[in-house]
Amino acid sequence: MTELDPEGLVFRDDPSKRSSFFAGQADVGRLLGMITALTGEIAMLRARLDTHERLAAEGGFDRTKVEAYRPDATALAERMADDQAMIGRVFKPLSDELDRLLEDPVVQKTLLETDR
């Protein structure tokens, strides 16, 4: 339950278990976890590619130079913006669904029917 206990604490029904949001379909949760990790790997690859391109522009480079490369503030800001756009594209179906819910009076009406 979600009531505070006498010490003011609240825990999941079984605090020893991880949060599970898809009852009976734990694989959906795991799949989302994997997608999350995958976006991290895409981001890392994009950053590496960006490093290659920037070093290429300066002349030759090798693995050591790539490993040692750290973006300056401008390059980092460009990368972060690029990453936000990538995240936005990957998670667009969710974001679109939220926009739709905001304009869907029928679903909103069902949400008012709580189990209070």
Partner 1 sequence: MSATPHAMMPEATHDEAARFAHVVGLKNFLMRQLEPKWRSLVDEKLTPQLAAEGRDAKGEYRSLERSLARLGAYRTWQQLTVSAQEEMWRSVGECVDRQLPELERRASDPTAGGSVRTDPQFRPPRYLSTVDIHLMPGGYADDRGEGDVRQGAVFDKAAALYHMGRNGGELNDVRGHTLVQHYFDRFPGMTPERILDMGCTVGHSTTAIAGYFPQAEVHGIDVGGALLRYARARSASLGASIHYSQQNAEQTDFADGSFDLVVSSAVLHETSFKALPRIMREAHRLLRPGGVMMHLEVPLRFDTASAWNRVRGLFEALHNNEPFWIGAQQADIAQTVRDAGFADVASGYQPAVRVADRAAEPRFTSTPGPVHVVWYLLSGVKR
Near partner 1 by CB under 8 A: residue from 27, 32, 56, 78: 32
- Which amino acid type is present at position 82? D
Q: How far apart are CA 86 and CA 80, in angstroms?
A: 10
How large is the angle between the packed helices 92-102 and 73-90, nearest 10 degrees? 70
Applying CB under 8 A, does 78 fall inside the site for partner 1? no
Is residue 98 a contact point for partner 1 (CB under 8 A)? yes
**Which CB atom, from 56 or from 97, has the smaller least distance to partner 1?**
97
Site for partner 1 contains 62 (CB under 8 A): no
**Do residues 10 and 39 lie in contact, with contact meaning Cβ atoms separated by under 8 Å?**
no
- For the chain, how long is the longest CA-to-CA vector? 67
Q: Is 106 in the site for partner 1 (CB under 8 A)?
A: no
Q: Would you count residue 107 as binding partner 1 (CB under 8 A)? A: yes
Asked if residue 88 binds partner 1 (CB under 8 A), the reply is: yes
Residue among 55, 61, 75, 87 that touches partner 1 (CB under 8 A): 87
Give the burial class of 51: count Cβ atoms within 10 A of its Cβ; 0-12 exposed, 13-18 middle, 19 or more buried.
buried
Q: Which of 55, 61, 69, 75 binds partner 1 (CB under 8 A)?
A: 69
Per CB under 8 A, 14 contacts partner 1: no
Which position has the token pair 């667009």? 92
